[in-house]
């Protein structure tokens, strides 16, 4: 009977979002900083390349 109550109270969910939620705070900050650096490079690098053509 107690197994049924536990299943109702906390359903088992799997996936990347649930894995991310269960990580420690420092690990989350580390992952977010790496993602921000990657996105920053992807956004800023083309802007720097095009800025050379505008300011010649």
DSSP string computed for 4-48: HHHHHHS----SHHHHHHTS-HHHHHHHHHHHHHHHHHHHHHHHH
Alpha-carbon distance 28 to 36, whole Å?
Answer: 12
Domain ranges of the chain: 23-56
Residue 51 has pLDDT above 70, yes or no: yes
Query: Sorting pLDDT into bands at 50, 70 and 90, what band is 21?
Result: confident
Short-list 12, 44, 11, 16, CA closest to 31: 16
The reply to whether the predicted model has a pTM over 0.85 is no
């Amino acid at each position: 009977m107690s197994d049924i109550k536990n299943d109702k109270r906390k359903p088992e969910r799997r996936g990347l979002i649930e894995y991310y939620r269960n990580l420690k705070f420092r690990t989350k900050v580390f992952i977010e900083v790496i993602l921000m650096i990657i996105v920053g490079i992807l956004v800023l690098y083309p802007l720097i390349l095009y800025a050379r053509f505008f300011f010649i």
